[in-house]
Amino acid sequence: MDNFKIITTDANSSARRGLLKTGHGDVQTPVFMPIGTRGAVRGIIPELIEQAGARIMLANTYHLVLRPGVEVVEKLGGLHKFMAWDGPILTDSGGYQVFSLSTLNSLGDDGVEFASHIDGAKIYLDPKIATEAQNRLGADIIMCFDECVQLPCEKEQLEKAVQRTIRWAQQCKEAHNREDQMLFGIVQGGTDLEMRSYCAQSLAKMDFSGYAIGGLSVGEGFDDMVRTVEHTCPELPVDKPRYLMGVGTPMDIIAAVRAGVDMFDCCLPTRNGRNGTAFTSAGMLKMRNSKHIDDERPVDEVCDCYCCRKYSRAAIRHFFNVGEMLGPILLSLHNIRFYQKLMETIRQKIKADQFDSWAEEIIEKQKN
């Protein structure tokens, strides 16, 4: 099945518009996926997420294995029904938790034993277990189990992680047993371009449905991130979707689209929203600031989201300052809409063959 089609390419960069086909609907790319780690985007019902423009969501295998358990999700009709989301879903394999929960796990060549961050219970994940769990959860796109390293990283450790990632990817492919799910390989290698090439070329030979670039947005900085992505994208099959995991800011996304990336996810929109920070057309806005105490304006005067249509900055500030849960919900919803509008603009600029000059202007403005 041909799951991905390139519709338009930008004449002056590697940016491209595409159509990703899944069993739960088509997705226009470049696309940004809100994160519903444990089966929900915190505080926001799926209907509002869809109204904000999102067409595909992300959930996390490690966290769903912990609670409520794969068996429960399966018994209740699968992940789409469990999440009350009719659109496409992507599940991460739990590989990122090898990095983020490194103090709570024991890593070996065959897999990882976690001590649950909830109660310390032992949980083991390896390529076969992670793949079978995702097969049973029923997401449209599932990810290979991989090893993400802390940066900076010693050369020997990085080489071991890349070899492990390649070996595990082959084991994931062998374990994968659902034709209605796409399986993506994940390219690792830190900021070492030679390692990135080696990993990308090795995975490309396995013919996955798509390819992710992992192991970035872990403190390497904007310039190193862009350099790594610009180097890695040409190493991947041109006719398969490319997914940059965990990235990032609007400037990160624009730069990565220019390099040829099609898919993104990041916790920033909702995490910043819960913490009182809004993404706006005029830049970042701290909503707890006293200057908003009687401001009648919406968070962003050019935004069409529910928050901006119904509430003033003064009201949003008040909700945060009195601990009213509506504040974080509304601002998270606004930030999701901001990111979806960003992706809509990106797709429009590529279609009009105006993307490269627009992207250059945005990036230079943000860097200065």
Are 17 and 121 part of one and the same domain? yes
Cβ atoms of 184 and 141 within 8 Å: the answer is yes
Whether 1 is in a domain gets the answer no
Are 177 and 319 part of one and the same domain? no
Are 178 and 321 part of one and the same domain? no
Are 69 and 216 part of one and the same domain? yes
Please state whether beta strands 31-33 and 112-115 pair in parallel, antiparallel, or not at all (unpaired).
unpaired
Global pTM value: 0.96
Are 25 and 160 part of one and the same domain? yes
Cβ atoms of 173 and 183 within 8 Å: the answer is yes
Q: What is the mean pLDDT of residues 236-254?
A: 97
Whether 352 is in a domain gets the answer yes
Q: What is the mean pLDDT of residues 78-90?
A: 98
Are 82 and 151 part of one and the same domain? yes
Task: Please return the burial class of 206, using the count of CB atoms within 10 Å of its CB with bins 0-12, 13-18 and 19+.
Answer: middle
Q: And the tokens for 202?
A: 């090795």
- In eight-state DSSP terms, residue 305 is S
Are 82 and 230 part of one and the same domain? yes
pLDDT at residue 347 greater than cutoff 70? yes
User: At 41, which CATH number?
Assistant: 3.20.20.105
How many percent of the chain have pLDDT more than 90? Answer: 88
Whether 272 is in a domain gets the answer no
Whether 304 is in a domain gets the answer yes
Which domain does 178 fall in, by range?
Answer: 11-266
Asked which of 43-47, 100-104, 131-135 is least confident by mean pLDDT, the reply is 100-104
Q: What is the pLDDT of residue 1?
A: 57
Are 142 and 284 part of one and the same domain? no
Q: Closest by alpha carbon to 143, among 133, 158, 156?
A: 133
Are 104 and 221 part of one and the same domain? yes
How many other CB atoms are there within 10 angstroms of residue 150's CB atom? 13
Cβ atoms of 251 and 8 within 8 Å: the answer is no
Q: Give catalytic residues, as residue numbers.
A: 92, 265
Whether 367 is in a domain gets the answer yes
**pLDDT band with cut points at 50, 70 and 90 for residue 99:** low
Whether 271 is in a domain gets the answer no
Point out the domain boundary residue: 226, 243, 266.
266
Q: What is the pLDDT of residue 143?
A: 98
Point out the domain boundary residue: 235, 266, 297.
266
Whether 273 is in a domain gets the answer no
Please enumerate in sequence order all residues whose Cβ is within 8 A of that of 262, keeping only pairs 6 or more positions apart, or say none.
4, 16, 18, 20, 29, 30, 31, 241, 242, 243
Instruction: Convert the pLDDT of each residue in 141-164 to its tens digit.
Output: 999 999 998 888 999 999 999 999
Residue 89: enclosing H or E segment and its boundaries? strand 89-92
* Chain centroid to CA 164: 22
pLDDT at residue 188 greater than cutoff 90? yes
How many other CB atoms are there within 10 angstroms of residue 262's CB atom? 26
Tell me what the pLDDT averaged over the chain comes to: 95
Are 53 and 141 part of one and the same domain? yes
Number of domains in the chain: 2
Asked which of 14-18, 106-110, 239-243, 313-317 is least confident by mean pLDDT, the reply is 106-110
Are 108 and 41 part of one and the same domain? yes
Point out the domain boundary residue: 245, 266, 287.
266
Whether 184 is in a domain gets the answer yes
Q: What is the pLDDT of residue 103?
A: 74
Q: What is the mean pLDDT of residues 73-92?
A: 98
Q: Which amino acid is at 179?
A: E
Are 89 and 141 part of one and the same domain? yes
Q: What is the pLDDT of residue 155?
A: 95
- Please count the CA atoms within 13 angstroms of the CA of 187 that sit on its side-chain side: 32
Residues 221, 11: Cα–Cα separation, whole Å: 28
